[in-house]
Structure 1
Amino acid sequence: MARTLYSEEEENGTGGINLTPLIDMVFILLIFFMVTASFVKESGIDINRPAAQSAEQKERANIIIAIKKNGEVWIDRRQVTLNALRAHVERLHAENPEGTVIISADKEAPTEFLVRALDEARLAGVAHVAIATLTP
């Protein structure tokens, strides 16, 4: 009677398929996809942005400042005052120095709040600040 290699392994208690390398590979792929995935950041409030003919698409925005039409300023889904805005931007910019700031102001928001937010972002040390608009 011919015995197969598989049946000898079963008798010795070492039978079966070793799944450890497969599981390791799956976890490595999972970590790779989690690290390379990009997530869309939102300001947390609804804004009616103005339209602009010269609008350009920015791929990444790490810090989004939202200004509502009543003058409320939001960053990281929290309402902040204009006086505290620079500290928040400095903290977020320290986490990612390569990041940019996008100011998403409502089209009916007072210009004073937009200019102050832009000024506070630049005073916080951010070189790249943009204003969010819609393409018509």
Structure 2
Amino acid sequence: MSIQLPNDDESSEMSEINVTPLVDVMLVLLVVFIVTTPLLTQVVRVKLPKTEQTEPAPDKHIAILSINAQGEPQLDDKPVPLASLETELKALQERDPDISIQLHADKAAVFESVAKVMASAQRSGVGKLSFVTLQQ
């Protein structure tokens, strides 16, 4: 078998494509995908317990703060102006430091009024504020 070298007097062009760099890039990408794919598909399967709806235990350290559809706050079914809500909540906490506030908001109430009531509760130093919703 003999190898023919191009002659100097013949001007011939090389018609082959060097694919070595392309194969190198493909192998590097393959390794990157193999390494990163398991990191993207981590799933923690947790079986959550199923329970029935229960009624909360009666607690004497609960105050109910409700907001009606017009955005007016009421503390334990007594209307309270928003300006004096903070002082009322401070007085409640002074009488009972373990008090927990349950917030009942009408679904037609504007969020701005709910946010103002929540801000008043935070400024008054309420440590336990919970939202009460109805089951659908």
Task: Give TM class, smaller chain.
Answer: 0.5 to 0.7
Aligned-pair CA distance for 1:57: 6.4
Q: Confirm or deny: 8 A CA contact 2:71 2:114 kept in the other structure.
A: no
Q: Distance in 2 between matches of 1:57 and 1:125?
A: 28
Amino acid at match of 1:69: A
In the comparison of the two structures, how many residue pairs are matched?
82
> Identity of counterpart residues, as a percentage?
24
Q: Which residue of 2 aligns with 1:21?
A: none
Runs of 4+ in structure 1 displaced over 3 angstroms? Answer: 55-61
- 2:133 maps to 1:133: yes
Alignment deviations for residues 36-93 of structure 1 (CA, whole Å, 9 cap, x no partner)? xxxxxxxxxxxxxxxxxxx996543521111100112111332111111111111111
1:14 maps to: none
Structure 1 distance, partners of 2:54, 2:83, is 30
In structure 2, what is the equivalent of residue 97 of structure 1? 97
Per the alignment, do residues 69 and 122 of structure 1 end up closer, same or farther by CA in structure 2, a change over 3 Å counting? same
Letter in 2 for 1:109: A
Gapped regions of structure 1 (runs ≥ 5): 1-54
TM-score by length of 1: 0.54
Instruction: Specify the code of the residue in structure 2 equivalent to 1:135.
Output: Q
Cα deviations by residue, 1:92-128 (Å, 9 ceiling, x for unpaired): 1111111111111100101011111111111111111
* Structure possessing the higher relative contact order (Cα contacts under 8 Å, 6 or more residues apart): 1
Q: TM-score, normalised by structure 2?
A: 0.54
CA RMSD of aligned residues (A): 2.1
